[in-house]
Structure 1
């Protein structure tokens, strides 16, 4: 009981300080301020004092809020906007997965880690899914989890600022109608939660954001549901996601393998630059919105990229489609690609 109380107290203290960090970032006018500020503070706390334990249900609740928020913006015109994106979605997903595999030898040499750890650290898929799969394959789950968290962290901190300066997007607070706490909102949250639980039961990747988004979008697109989430609710969801992201940085792992993590950060930055070039090149080739394609090609987390899209007034539904396909492809193919190219009979000779 004493241990449980101590954990709860630590979580509350971390949440309070992370919320303050989000508020400070908001005062400076940063895009996605509540998430970035809370993630920075929580990461600092995790590396200095120890990571708080963020309950899974709390994190999933934040994901549901984000999924519902996107679902409520969907109308029948979303099908008209897909067009060419229907072909680019699998293309970008494939490129991001193959790029991660291609950079494995670079991380192995620079970070002095084994191939399996480097591989699972670079697959652009869910953090929890890759950590679990890495454990079954004998990889270092501490490195895998930390580098995946760093991947999302880097994208979240850099892309919103870059996109905001590409043009003159409207920030969330100014460009989104102020929601109200009413019955339609409660119905939307209930529908999103039910869809998320169903998606999780069916094994849908990132089920609590994807399931809630799909379920509410289906109702919104036919006009059966109309609501808008209040800004404080979205801010709270950002803080929860930032808290969870920052808590993934473990002091013990950083101290144990500083070279691997330093090299990994450099490889992740290179990976992000290449994917940004892919997104911008496709935007130029087909006359698409550069900001949309930057977020669509970015290898951040689904929830984080959707929030970023909303924050800078980019089509969040399209971004979600790209991110879900990338995550789904990574989750489904990681084990197979690992077996074919990392632990196959001739891999010691072909794959340094």
Structure 2
């Protein structure tokens, strides 16, 4: 039984790597995540009979690569992010308002318009923290196919519509379509053991402290502390980040079982309403903060847009904006969202 499962996992990852590579030649955002997710999702929904009986993607293998994503995000937290502490305090408060308003709007919309149960509506409406909302939602007993569908549609719509819209607005491509990357250059092979050690330490700390979605937040915290303290900066090679996205996308796509065409169309309709409302809210925040912070409207818009951290940072680079400013706010948005999910779910626990 072990060998068929191992062969299946290897074949799935190989096919997903091909799908991710092909996706890079299109305008698809987050190609190494969404490409494999679509490919494995098609296998799960169209060819489930081709998988071995009782097959499940190895979760421990997936968690290792989720830690790599955590290290990559945490490494972006540098002292330069805090140069304008006063402006950050204002925008931080605005982020709290944005997250709270978006979560309330999405929860009510998914409950009343979508007919989702409380747990599914609550975590599907999180305006950030793709992996965290999925992990917390699973623990709360949410309907996982619907939850993942809504969260992925949120990311897909934001990181597709916003860069394309800005490309037309500016007359030049932005984001992944511009061929940009967060990689700072080649990373020597002898740095990989340090990455492994930092990731293992982060996972251990997360377990001890019982951090939410600890496979990401623990390594993220370790990388951020190392960077801010000056003890060292962890450079995660781009090929490793890409492979981590392939593994995670493959694992998540395989969980899209039992999704009918009607369910997908229903989810897409809800996602359009949800993302449309959040982008309008982000635009309102940008207009209000523009005279206070002195940042251009388009920069503030991508700062509040509920998309992926990596893609929004790439868009910031295309706009010649401060990627550190944008990255910090998206990291803070994830942190605020996770804290909000934990605090709120404890308050409404009897209802769930």
TM-score range with shorter-chain normalisation?
0.7 to 0.9
* Corresponding position of 2:39: 41
- Structure 2: how far apart are the matches of 1:104 and 1:175? 33
2-side partners of 1:26 and 1:174: how far apart? Answer: 12
Shift of 1:225: 1.6
Q: CA deviation at 1:239?
A: 1.5
Partner of 1:207: 214
Give the TM-score normalised by structure 1: 0.76
Equivalent in 224, 229, 235 of residue 236 of structure 2: 229
Which residue of structure 2 aligns with residue 348 of structure 1?
none
Q: Which of 86, 91, 94 matches 2:94?
A: 91
Decide whether the 8 Å contact of 1:36 with 1:157 is kept in 2.
Answer: no
Q: Check if 1:247 corresponds to 2:250.
A: no
Query: Do 1:188 and 1:225's aligned partners in 2 also have CA atoms closer than 8 Å?
Result: no
Unpaired runs of 5+ residues, structure 1, are 344-352
Q: Is the 8 A contact 2:303 2:312 kept in 1?
A: no
Three-state SS of the structure 2 residue aligned to 1:288 is: coil
Q: Which residue of 2 aligns with 1:350?
A: none
Partner SS state of residue 267, structure 2: helix
Q: CA deviation at 1:196?
A: 3.1
Give, in whole Å, the separation in 2 of the partners of 1:317 and 1:189: 24
The answer for the alignment partner of 1:347 in structure 2 is: none
Q: Does the 8 Å contact 1:254/1:261 carry over to 2?
A: no
* Residues 174/148 of structure 1: CA separation in 2 closer, same or farther (3 Å cut): closer
Residue in 1 that maps onto 2:320 = none
The C-alpha deviation readout for 1:190-212, integer Å capped at 9, x for no partner, is 12331232123312223233322
The alpha carbon displacement at 1:112 in A equals 4.1
**1:159-181 deviations in Å (ceiling 9; x for gaps):** 45556666676767566332223
Would you say 1:280 and 2:286 are equivalent positions? yes
Alignment of 1:265-304 (within 5 A): 265-282=271-288, 284-285=290-291, 286-288=293-295, 293-300=300-307
Gap change, CA 1:73 and 1:17, over 3 Å in 2: same
The 8 Å contact of residues 145 and 256 in structure 2, kept in 1 or not, is answered as: no
Aligned residue number for residue 111 of structure 1: 114
Q: Distance in 2 between matches of 1:66 and 1:7?
A: 25
Alignment pair present for 1:154 and 2:157: yes
User: Following the alignment from structure 1 to structure 2, what is the Cα–Cα distance between the partners of residues 24 and 254?
Assistant: 26
Q: Which runs of 5+ in 2 are unaligned?
A: 318-322
Pair 162,142 (structure 1): closer, same or farther in 2 beyond 3 Å: same
Does structure 1 residue 62 correspond to structure 2 residue 65? Answer: yes
> Following TM superposition, by how much is the alpha carbon of 1:18 offset from its aligned partner in structure 2, in angstroms?
1.6
Task: Give the one of 329, 338, 348 matched to 1:327.
Answer: 338
* CA deviation after TM superposition for structure 1 residue 234, in Å: 1.8
Q: CA deviation at 1:283?
A: 5.1
Moved more, 324-333 or 145-154: 145-154
- 1:220 is displaced (CA, Å) by 2.5
Match of 2:187 among 162, 180, 193: 180
Distance 1:180 1:197, change over 3 A: same
* Alpha-carbon distance in 2 for matches of 1:226, 1:34: 25
Using the alignment, how far apart are the partners of 2:284 and 2:253 within structure 1? Answer: 28
* C-alpha distance in 1 between matches for 2:169 and 2:195: 34
SS in 1 for 2:113: helix
Structure-2 change in CA distance of 1:211 and 1:38 (3 Å): same
Q: 1:20 aligns with which of 14, 18, 21?
A: 18
- The answer (yes or no) to whether the contact 2:29–2:160 under 8 Å persists in 1 is no
Q: Which digits, 9 at most, give the CA deviation of each residue in 1:130-184, with x for residues without a partner?
A: 2322x2xxx6454334323433443344445556666676767566332223434
Cα RMSD after superposing both structures: 3.5
> 4+ runs of 1 displaced by more than 6 Å?
none
